A and B are shown apart, each in its own frame.
Chain A
Amino acid sequence: MPPANWDLRTPKKQSCPPLNQHTASGEGHSNTRQIQATMGSPVHRVSLGDTWSKQVHPDIQSERHMQSFDVEQLTKILDGGAQNTALRRKVESIIHSDPVFSLKDNYFMTQNEHYEAALKKKFHIQMLAQRLGWSEDSRELGYAYRSLSGDLALGVHNIFLKSIRSLGSEEQIAKWAPLCNKFQIIGTYAQTELGHGTYLQGLETEATYDAATQEFVVHSPTTTAIKWWPGGLGWSATHALVQAQLICSGARQGMHAFIVPIRSLQDHSALPGITVGDIGPKMEFDHMDNGFLQLDHVRIPRENMLSRFAQVLPDGTYIKLGTAKANYLTMVVTRVDILLGEVIPMLEKACVIAIRYSVVRRQFRIRPSDPEAKILDYQTQQQKLLPQLATAYAFHFLASSLLEFFHRSYSSILDKDFSLLPELHALSAGAKAMVTDFCAQGAELCRRACGGHGYSKLSGLPSLVTRVAASCTYEGENTVLYLQTARFLVKIYLQAQESPGSTSQRSLPQSVAYLTAPDQTRCPAQRAADFLHPEHYTMAWAHVATRLIKDSAHHLQTLMKSGADWHEAWNQTTVIHLQAAKAHCYYVTVKTFTEALEKLESEPAIQQVLKRLCDLYALHGILTNTGDFLYDGFLSGAQIDVARTAYLDLLILIRKDAILLTDAFDFTDQCLNSALGCYDGNVYERLFHWAQKAPTNTQMILKL
């Protein structure tokens, strides 16, 4: 339940600087005030209200002394404007001041307890949203989810509702949406099966129309057809949106969506013909009851087939009603929304934790006469962490600009001009694959860069790692997605080849225009400083991507000329297609980042510090793939060495701003929920305190 004084507190928050409850409650002190003064922003980061934490650790404080840029200003840029920052902080203050939303005991819970807590939170946030007037797609609710770090149950309920809205007829929406909104029914989206994942057409679940009763008979014919993985299916859902092969009048009509009631609305027991349960423990997501569903000739009324785009008439006649293409954009947007709202923040958080820890942790001496050095001062540690930080920033600008582009494309799609769709699809598929791939690897790198303590769940890193790892598989398996991008690239390339100089060439989609741009055979950069020119490294990436796409297309054509059919030839060349798609995505990211920088001219200090990250991102990619750049002599061995020098110099420069760059993400301590990553840097005290609270110390007794 919300605290009784909710209504009193909320308006008060609006009228005073947000989130200064620690200072207000008498826990402020000179250090925090000083920071408040220098940052010009509220001191909402200190100490989780831990009474023992009276001081910011000097090793982290010293990192914030010299500010080469305005951190607060960078935060506002990342938020997309000062109003957003203010709104976000206001929402965070509401969330964090409510004990129901506390993540404090998260690391000590069983799967059951996680689920229960997540349900409670979902319930609570729903009440809160209603009370404060936060609508489902509002910024407020988005910020609330961000500060809750995703630990809510019934996440798929919303997907259920959205699917009905996009696939259902007006009558269906009118019938089901209010029930969903009031949680009178709880929905899940059941697509994947035990034996079938990404490949939709392979699903086995059948929905056979029985004209005699005007019902569909929904059935799982085999073990492999059992629905497997849907979130919320295990214990929560009363209704499932089941994807099944439609069979009517004896003909198979492909995949369609059906609303299938699975649990009693009276006592929540499974309905006849339904076998449903939880799929058992997973790597992470304990709070989510991923489930299985076996359907044994379950009958549902004809009206339960979602019928915006196809319909089965009472007599069993199947009618198509236009194309779902317009819906496609929504899916593409959702995919990138998830990157920005869920995936990239996980890498950002991992960077915050690892980098803050790395300025507090001291190990070895660099010089025998010195005290033990901060581990962030080791070149090898910088090499591990700073490229991850650069990647997090690069992805932030990539995803933001993609979203902008998608929204701009909206009007043409609404005008039924679908010509942009292939490019949007290729961009979102490639971005999803690359971002999740790199974020998963990056978060794990951050975890390991924290040594032994990164292995403790209390660091917060293991759960970040396992969550972001899951994103590589859901919403489309990454290899499959990369290959979808590759298919688009090959097609575009071959088109451009067929009609050199013609008009079609000039109308190449924006993101692949470089394929026909004049290409240099040698990189002109000579000195280290030359490698910090965006046009040089952007050109280098464009060159490599072009070459790989060209190569992959030629490989494909060669195989086809020697008699292989297209499909066989495609499978035999996928390794190189994969490489080409990856290089293309890297290029797009570098290009987008440089374009984003150009817009920051009014903020020269921020522009400078971000440009270093952009340079690092581009050069890091070149240096980890030197083979691709040396291959045709675009770069010489000597140039690689020079690029490496430029890269090493960048590490030293970025090192100085590393803490500020992580502060700028503006994650609250509550949301980080990490003993290693708190703003105050009091790492060891917090680890010790948290460990003592563990049930293993309060409950567990040895029985030999």
Chain B
Amino acid sequence: MNQDLRKERAAASFNPELLTHVLDGSPENTRRRREIENLILKDPDFQHEDLNFLTRSQRYEVAVRKSATTVEKMRKFGIADPDEIMWFKKLHLVNFVEPVGLNYSMFIPTLLNQGTTAQQEKWLLSSQRLEIIGTYAQTELGHGTHLRGLETTATYDPETQEFILNSPTVTSIKWWPGGLGKTSNYAIVLAQLITQGKCYGLHAFIVPIRELGTHKPLPGITVGDIGPKFGYDEMDNGYLKMDNYRIPRENMLMKYAQVKPDGTYVKPVSNKLTYGTMVFIRSFLVGEAARCLSKACTIAIRYSAVRHQSEIKPGEPEPQILDYQTQQYKLFPLLATAYAFQFVGAYMKETYHRINKDIGQGDLSELPELHALTAGLKAFTSWTVNAAIEACRMACGGHGYSHCSGLPNIYVNFTPTCTFEGENTVMMLQTARFLMKSYDQVHSGKLVCGMVSYLNDLPSQRIQPQQVAVWPTVVDINSPDSLTEAYRLRAARLVEIAAKNLQAEVIHRKSKEVAWNLTSIDLVRASEAHCHYVVVKLFSEKIPQIQEKSVQAVLRNLCLLYSLYGICQKAGDFLQWGIMTESQVTQVNERIKELLTAIRPDAVALVDAFDFQDVTLGSVLGRYDGNVYENMFEWAKKSPLNKTEVHESYHKHLKSLQSKL
């Protein structure tokens, strides 16, 4: 092992293994996760090619092959629990991108949620066995987040009892669905249902797109890959154009809405349950954001402990770059953020499962808040992590730009999270809508509960202003609870400002919608402040729950750093409304520097505790053993680009260039 990393690990103030248990939820979870990971590490069938050296087409092929072995092996090992499946796939697929992924994450669940028993009998088993491979075709070339704008039509023909599917315009071509380009032979297509001359809005249809056996597109179907992307090389995101393409009536998913043989439309009974899937995916994405940032931090911090550069004092040997204050200031707040989001992710998962149980018993009361919270937190965490991964990459200097660092790969595969499953700005505005509703509710005299209960305390909401009592004079910058309070006040303030500006615009513009648009920057700010408060609150509440004192101490420092760094970044908000004074802001800046120094000796142990296998990191810079340079050299030599000593283009071009000029 690299000497620097050995020293770092020996000097840590706590045992990272204990922190790993906290992150996994229990020592038992850690044990089981490692057991599953070892199944893969020890199995020769799971050969890991270095994807960086493959063409897109080769990467796709590898991914398809891996999917096939995954199905087989999981059956063999008896892995069925969702968490365990995820651990398994994470280690095996690395990027967690698989061309058949949508078959499992969208096609089958939609069939289960919206299909009748007969429909499930017909397609479920074969799709579970991958005899048919399904995808989920929603977005179109010209239409994304706004579902109602989709143009694809499904017109019912009672004579043949068929639906006629059409992509009437260029903008209506289905675009982006994963696995559609090359892999799938079935798609669940969202289309505007038209029957008896009337449009009934979006419905889901099971559409065969390729011939079983030959895999050729069926007549009337134009299907293909949408071309190269920033990342997701292994995925064949596709397009689908349908021309008078006929499917039987039974292919419309009819658990809720129905079209009778004669074309009569039967309305669905209200269906709030589909909300549930969305909430689930978004809360999962919060955890994903945390894991991706944890990976990036692991790589950047280990490398910064190995890399030596320049001088702090002349004459002394070059210091580890992690000893530079600027490097600590770049990385440690991100490390703190990674931990914060880990705990938020765990909280979201728990909450989802808890509320899901309530929903099962018909209690939907908590769903609106959870829905608003997941939307906002998905946006808040993915924006933050997006910038943070890139910051980690930049903190590795030139080598961060090479694919051997693994960081470009993490970035390009993470960044779509800002767009998919609800574009972030749209998500923030959804949260804002909930915040505005809650604000109005309090205004009309009803108290609100949950994470927004702070709106009950707004001075302006009180019949008799009690400003003095409500706004504390002193924030204790060493107390996570007191800092949570500061964030709470900021959120309350920004929600109130957005609400008031919205009201003012409504009066001025005489149209609620125009007013909403003209206030949307304020509304997004309010949502961000709300989410920031929630994250600080959840992190702070986690600290007292940690039993082990040494672990608690180091997490407490991270929690303080996370909160104080946010204050320093948004100092204007805290100053403008007197939540903090000028001298407190100065103290915050000083305290941050102290915390950087305090965290420094534990930095490597803190990333070790994330417990990533080297293969998951996919990074030469982030190797556990720290033997960075030797392995970079080996990695480069392995590159197929170095197969021949003289590149063929020498003969083709260079020679002739030399002779002609």
Which residues of chain A have a CB within 8 Å of any CB of chain B?
107-108, 110-112, 115-116, 119-120, 122-123, 126-127, 130, 181-184, 186, 192, 194-199, 201-202, 223-224, 226, 228-229, 234-236, 267-270, 277-283, 289, 292, 361-368, 372, 377-381, 383-384, 444, 447-448, 451-452, 454-458, 462, 465-466, 469-470, 472-474, 477-480, 483, 565, 567-568, 571-576, 578, 625-633, 637, 640, 648, 684-685, 687-688, 690-692, 694-697, 699-704
- Given known A-B contacts A127-B660, A473-B397, A697 and B225 have beta carbons under 8 A apart: yes
Asked if B310 lies at the interface with its beta carbon under 8 angstroms from chain A, I say: yes
Query: Closest approach, in angstroms, between the C-beta of B467 and any C-beta of chain A?
Result: 15
Query: Closest approach, in angstroms, between the C-beta of B47 and any C-beta of chain A?
Result: 17
Residue in A235, A576, A626 whose beta carbon sits within 8 Å of that of B647 in the complex: A235
Binding-face segment, B56-64, B80-88, B249-257:
B56-64
| A interface footprint on B307-318 (CB within 8 Å = 1, 0 otherwise) | 111111110001
* Cβ contact within 8 Å between B639 and A281: yes
* Cβ contact within 8 Å between A183 and B215: no
Q: CA separation between A130 and B56, bound complex, in Å?
A: 39
CB nearest to B523 among chain A residues:
A380
Q: CA separation between A697 and B223, bound complex, in Å?
A: 9
Q: CA separation between A479 and B649, bound complex, in Å?
A: 38
* Cβ contact within 8 Å between A280 and B571: no
* Cβ contact within 8 Å between B524 and A192: no
Q: CA separation between A183 and B56, bound complex, in Å?
A: 34
Asked if B200 lies at the interface with its beta carbon under 8 angstroms from chain A, I say: no
Q: List, in ascending order, chain A residues with CB within 8 A of B229's CB.
A: 455-457, 462
* Cβ contact within 8 Å between A690 and B641: no
* Cβ contact within 8 Å between B326 and A483: yes
Query: Closest approach, in angstroms, between the C-beta of B537 and any C-beta of chain A?
Result: 22
Q: List, in ascending order, chain B residues with CB within 8 A of A361's CB.
A: 142
Query: Closest approach, in angstroms, between the C-beta of A393 and any C-beta of chain B?
Result: 22
* Cβ contact within 8 Å between B517 and A690: no
Q: List, in ascending order, chain A residues with CB within 8 A of B420's CB.
A: 452
Q: List, in ascending order, chain B residues with CB within 8 A of A228's CB.
A: 398, 632
Q: Identify the interface centre among B418, B519, B649, B650: most chain A CB within 10 Å of its CB.
A: B649
Q: CA separation between A477 and B64, bound complex, in Å?
A: 40
Asked if B3 lies at the interface with its beta carbon under 8 angstroms from chain A, I say: no
- Could you list 15 examples of A-B contacts with CB < 8 Å? A127-B660, A234-B641, A281-B403, A363-B143, A367-B513, A379-B520, A380-B524, A451-B423, A452-B139, A574-B324, A574-B325, A575-B589, A684-B170, A691-B226, A702-B215
Asked if B642 lies at the interface with its beta carbon under 8 angstroms from chain A, I say: yes
* Cβ contact within 8 Å between B416 and A455: yes
Q: List, in ascending order, chain B residues with CB within 8 A of A127's CB.
A: 660-661
* Cβ contact within 8 Å between B394 and A472: yes
Asked if B149 lies at the interface with its beta carbon under 8 angstroms from chain A, I say: yes
Asked if B573 lies at the interface with its beta carbon under 8 angstroms from chain A, I say: yes
Q: Identify the interface centre among A269, A456, A472, A477: most chain B CB within 10 Å of its CB.
A: A456
Q: List, in ascending order, chain B residues with CB within 8 A of A473's CB.
A: 394, 397-398, 400-401
Q: List, in ascending order, chain A residues with CB within 8 A of B308's CB.
A: 195, 202
| B211-228, CB < 8 A from A | 215, 224-228
Q: CA separation between A35 and B139, bound complex, in Å?
A: 34
* Cβ contact within 8 Å between A692 and B224: yes
Q: CA separation between A627 and B570, bound complex, in Å?
A: 7
Query: Closest approach, in angstroms, between the C-beta of A179 and any C-beta of chain B?
Result: 10
Residue in A184, A378, A451, A568 whose beta carbon sits within 8 Å of that of B517 in the complex: A378
- Given known A-B contacts A223-B630, A455-B416, A696 and B575 have beta carbons under 8 A apart: no
- Given known A-B contacts A197-B309, A236-B654, A280-B639, A630 and B402 have beta carbons under 8 A apart: no
- Given known A-B contacts A119-B654, A183-B657, A278-B636, A632 and B582 have beta carbons under 8 A apart: yes
* Cβ contact within 8 Å between A130 and B661: yes
Query: Closest approach, in angstroms, between the C-beta of A206 and any C-beta of chain B?
Result: 17
Asked if B182 lies at the interface with its beta carbon under 8 angstroms from chain A, I say: yes
Q: CA separation between A572 and B597, bound complex, in Å?
A: 10
Task: Taking A199-B309, A627-B572 as given, write out 8 further A-B residue pairs in contact, using a Cβ cutoff of 8 Å, ordered by the A residue number.
Answer: A277-B639, A379-B519, A379-B521, A572-B325, A625-B572, A684-B170, A691-B226, A694-B228
Asked if B329 lies at the interface with its beta carbon under 8 angstroms from chain A, I say: yes
* Cβ contact within 8 Å between B646 and A690: no
- Given known A-B contacts A199-B309, A380-B524, A110 and B55 have beta carbons under 8 A apart: yes
> Do most interface residues of chain B lie in helix, strand or loop, or is the interface mixed?
helix
Asked if B122 lies at the interface with its beta carbon under 8 angstroms from chain A, I say: no
* Cβ contact within 8 Å between B415 and A448: yes
Residue in B224, B425, B570, B653 whose beta carbon sits within 8 Å of that of A697 in the complex: B224
* Cβ contact within 8 Å between A575 and B329: yes
| B264-279, CB < 8 A from A | none
* Cβ contact within 8 Å between A378 and B228: no
Residue in B64, B520, B645 whose beta carbon sits within 8 Å of that of A270 in the complex: B645
Residue in B227, B568, B593 whose beta carbon sits within 8 Å of that of A572 in the complex: B593
Residue in B330, B401, B582, B656 whose beta carbon sits within 8 Å of that of A282 in the complex: B401
CB nearest to B232 among chain A residues:
A455
Q: List, in ascending order, chain B residues with CB within 8 A of A270's CB.
A: 645
* Cβ contact within 8 Å between A202 and B227: no
* Cβ contact within 8 Å between B511 and A367: yes
Query: Closest approach, in angstroms, between the C-beta of B54 and any C-beta of chain A?
Result: 10
Q: Identify the interface centre among A199, A201, A687: most chain B CB within 10 Å of its CB.
A: A687
Query: Closest approach, in angstroms, between the C-beta of A484 and any C-beta of chain B?
Result: 12
Asked if B507 lies at the interface with its beta carbon under 8 angstroms from chain A, I say: no
* Cβ contact within 8 Å between B312 and A444: no
Q: CA separation between A135 and B60, bound complex, in Å?
A: 46
- Given known A-B contacts A452-B420, A457-B230, A183 and B513 have beta carbons under 8 A apart: no
Q: CA separation between A457 and B419, bound complex, in Å?
A: 15
* Cβ contact within 8 Å between A280 and B641: yes
Q: List, in ascending order, chain B residues with CB within 8 A of A292's CB.
A: 633, 636
- Given known A-B contacts A378-B517, A578-B326, A691 and B575 have beta carbons under 8 A apart: no
Q: List, in ascending order, chain B residues with CB within 8 A of A466's CB.
A: 408
Q: CA separation between A270 and B420, bound complex, in Å?
A: 49
Q: CA separation between A281 and B311, bound complex, in Å?
A: 31
Residue in B400, B514, B639 whose beta carbon sits within 8 Å of that of A366 in the complex: B514
Q: List, in ascending order, chain A residues with CB within 8 A of B400's CB.
A: 473
Query: Closest approach, in angstroms, between the C-beta of A629 and any C-beta of chain B?
Result: 7
* Cβ contact within 8 Å between B228 and A688: no
- Given known A-B contacts A184-B658, A379-B521, A451-B423, A696 and B227 have beta carbons under 8 A apart: yes
Q: List, in ascending order, chain A residues with CB within 8 A of B660's CB.
A: 127
* Cβ contact within 8 Å between A451 and B646: no
Asked if B68 lies at the interface with its beta carbon under 8 angstroms from chain A, I say: yes
Q: List, in ascending order, chain A residues with CB within 8 A of B143's CB.
A: 363
Query: Closest approach, in angstroms, between the C-beta of B251 and any C-beta of chain A?
Result: 23
Query: Closest approach, in angstroms, between the C-beta of B127 and any C-beta of chain A?
Result: 15
* Cβ contact within 8 Å between A631 and B403: no
* Cβ contact within 8 Å between A281 and B53: yes
Q: List, in ascending order, chain B residues with CB within 8 A of A365's CB.
A: 513
Q: CA separation between A625 and B307, bound complex, in Å?
A: 33
Query: Closest approach, in angstroms, between the C-beta of B178 and any C-beta of chain A?
Result: 12
Q: CA separation between A274 and B388, bound complex, in Å?
A: 40
| A interface footprint on B124-151 (CB within 8 Å = 1, 0 otherwise) | 0000000000000001011111100100
Q: List, in ascending order, chain A residues with CB within 8 A of B386's CB.
A: 448
* Cβ contact within 8 Å between A202 and B398: no
Q: CA separation between A362 and B661, bound complex, in Å?
A: 53
Q: List, in ascending order, chain A residues with CB within 8 A of B323's CB.
A: 571
| B392-433, CB < 8 A from A | 394, 397-398, 400-404, 408, 412, 415-416, 418-420, 423, 425, 429
* Cβ contact within 8 Å between B227 and A457: yes
CB nearest to A577 among chain B residues:
B326
* Cβ contact within 8 Å between B636 and A452: no
Asked if B564 lies at the interface with its beta carbon under 8 angstroms from chain A, I say: no
CB nearest to B99 among chain A residues:
A702
Nearest 4 interchain pairs by C-beta: A626-B572, A627-B571, A696-B225, A235-B647
Residue in B173, B215, B415, B661 whose beta carbon sits within 8 Å of that of A455 in the complex: B415
* Cβ contact within 8 Å between B513 and A627: no
| B75-131, CB < 8 A from A | none
CB nearest to B185 among chain A residues:
A702
CB nearest to B418 among chain A residues:
A448
Q: CA separation between A401 and B325, bound complex, in Å?
A: 34
